[in-house]
Structure 1
Amino acid sequence: MTSFARLVSAAALFVLPLSSTASASSDDAWDEFAKDVAAKCTALAEGRIEEPKVVVDPFGTESYGMAILTGKAVGADATVSSICVYDKKSQTAEIGGELPADQVTITVP
């Protein structure tokens, strides 16, 4: 085995364990991201949707996280949904208006 091949083999042995740690770390970061999006969007739905169910796009776009909230409209019998956009840079969220069930149907387990 040439010295170059030994060097590449040694480098691979060093890097492989680190890649699994980075992957786990990334999974944890994405989980935290989704929790933050859900929490901030749910807070914005207060007074609009009773006990909203939230579906978070697991990664969003480069700049934004997105979620859809659905549930019973406060003070009505209608089911509504709202789209929430989360700015990854400022970590703030904004929620759109209520979309009636005949326009948007969301099923959340």
Structure 2
Amino acid sequence: MINKKQYAFILLPCLVFNSGSAFSSSDDAWDEFRRDVELKCLEASRAGTPSMNIKEIQVDPFGSDNFGFALVKFEDRNEPGTRFIACTYDKETNSAETSSPFHP
């Protein structure tokens, strides 16, 4: 039977050597998440307002437990002035939905 000291002696090296790969893959996963939020939110924004000229998109780096968020800044080719659309990205379904345009 393994006592507590032996268990710690076996477990500690495993944790130390595996922690580096967990952190690097986590960074890669967050980068992929942000790219997917941006892509899906841009697609959803253009589908809802085809005459938009996108100026900027800001993606919340991590989102909430269930959702990603982005803010799309654009100008409508048919109406003067800058507008914004809020976008929500569902982490479970990997789909995005947008609000109607905000007129500041």
TM-score range normalised by the length of the shorter chain: 0.7 to 0.9
Match of 1:53 among 53, 56, 72: 56
Match of 1:94 among 94, 97, 101: 97
Match of 1:70 among 49, 68, 73: 73
Distance in 2 of aligned mates of 1:44 and 1:4: 54
TM-score (norm. length: structure 2) = 0.81
Q: Which residues in structure 2 correspond to 1:20-59 (within 5 Å)?
A: 20-46=20-46, 47-59=50-62
Asked if structure 1 preserves the Cα contact closer than 8 Å seen for 2:54 and 2:72, the reply is: no
Asked if structure 2 preserves the Cα contact closer than 8 Å seen for 1:42 and 1:52, the reply is: no
1:106 maps to what in 2? Answer: none
Distance in 2 of aligned mates of 1:48 and 1:18: 49
Aligned amino acid, residue 66 of structure 2: S
Identity rate of aligned residues, in percent?
Answer: 29
- The root-mean-square deviation of aligned C-alpha atoms, in Å, is 1.8
Aligned amino acid, residue 28 of structure 1: D
Aligned amino acid, residue 96 of structure 1: S
Distance in 1 of aligned mates of 2:77 and 2:64: 30
Structure 2 unaligned blocks of 5 or more: none
2:14 maps to what in 1? Answer: 14
TM-score (norm. length: structure 1) = 0.78
DSSP 3-state at the match of 1:78: strand
Q: How many pairs are equivalent?
A: 99
Structure 1 unaligned blocks of 5 or more: 103-109
Distance in 1 of aligned mates of 2:77 and 2:40: 18
DSSP 3-state at the match of 1:99: coil
Aligned amino acid, residue 60 of structure 1: G
User: Offset at 1:61?
Assistant: 1.2
